[in-house]
Amino acid sequence: MAITTLHEFIMDRQADFKYASGELSRLLSDIAIASKVVSKDVRRAGLMEDILGAHGSTNVQGEEQQKLDVIADERFISMFKAGGEVCGIASEENDDFMPFDSEFSQKGKYVVLFDPLDGSSNIDVNVSIGTIFSIYRRKSEIGTKATLEDMLQCGDEQIAAGYVLYGSSTMLVYTTGKGVNGFTLDPSIGEFCLSHPNMKMPETGRMYAMNEGNINICESGIKDYIETYCQQTLEGASRPYSGRYIGSLVADFHRNLIKGGIYIYPDTTTDPEGKLRLLYECNPLAFIAEQAGGLATTGRHRVMALQPTRLHQRIPFFVGSKKMVEQAMSFLK
């Protein structure tokens, strides 16, 4: 059987990209290499004391960092610094954005915003986790230091976005705005190979993902939606929807992308802005969802149209099959 590696695919598609000059292709290839290294770390985590467990620090959002969060963050940052395509980054694990100092990096045209290891609470218990990334062209002049304005761009300006799922296999899924393609890491050859060409999210589905422990601390419309659509046996069905909540956004999103479904993380009385971060969790997945025919909103507004105001800004997040997201939104005032 003929296989297409990620590298071959990126090269073949380079001309699709309006600024085609090879840099974005190199950057995507660098992300794939760094994620292979992180995948290797994840696969051995239970065996290595220096990989598993708490790091002993908290990030700017007050969350306890795991050793693997920090290791993954460092792996990606080193790759970006060495590549020369990126002039600065922002990540969940760093308080502030990080403009790269070298003249080499400052010639880079891109910034990357990323969550190096999403689903931190699942690291120690051998449940799927992921990396999420979003790529923008810089606004500042090439050859200068990256600025906050480079980072705070609206999701519609994304040049590319994707995620890596460290699940029962490792998969990389990305878009450059011309559809969504998924690649599975073949450990025998160490390459990501095209396994899911032109991914489409089913228009509707039968699975919903929400931390239902929060049901009484979010607005009542969410409870109404879940009781009305998810927990009833609807006409023509033999049973209610299935609740499936992994607690790793990437894994829940990926399942819904393939099988159809909705993921909801609303604002709550304890997290009045929501929990998930606009820039490196919601926007990249929104770009993939829309490219696959799905929808991503705050419950009221389209995610990618939002103008970010802060690096670690949080929003309520409704993402998945188009009809399901629209139904959920109709319950919000």
Binding residues for ligand AHM, per CB under 6 A? Answer: 63, 92, 115, 118-121, 211, 247-249, 275
d(CA 60, CA 270): 17
CB of 64 to ligand AHM, least distance (A): 9
Nearer to Mg ion, 123 or 295 (CB): 123
Among ligand AHM, Mg ion, none, the one that 156 touches (CB under a kind-dependent 5 to 8 A) is none
241 DSSP 8-state letter:
P
Among 30, 73, 118, 252, binds Mg ion (CB under 5 A): 118
CB of 151 to ligand AHM, least distance (A): 18
- Closest residue to Mg ion, based on beta-carbon distance: 118
Name the minimum Å distance from CB 73 to ligand AHM.
12
Cβ of residue 92: shortest distance to Mg ion, in angstroms? 5
Q: Taking the CB of residue 97, how many other CB atoms lie within 10 A of it?
A: 19
- Give me the DSSP letters along 257-291: HHH--EEEE--BSSSTT-SEEIIIIIHHHHHHHHH
Phi, psi of 267 (to 5 degrees): -75, 150
Judged by CB, which is closer to Mg ion: 314, or 322?
Answer: 314
The token pair that represents 73 in the structure block: 């963050």
Q: How many CA atoms lie within 13 A of 108 on its CB side?
A: 30
Which of ligand AHM, Mg ion, none does residue 73 bind to, with CB < 5 to 8 Å depending on kind?
none
275 interface partner picked from ligand AHM, Mg ion, none, CB below 5 to 8 A per type? ligand AHM
Residue labelled with tokens 């690649």 = 183
**Residues 56 to 115 in contact with Mg ion, rule: CB under 5 A:** 115
Q: What is the Cα–Cα distance from 187 to 8, expressed in whole angstroms?
A: 17
Using CB under 5 A, list all residues that contact Mg ion.
115, 118
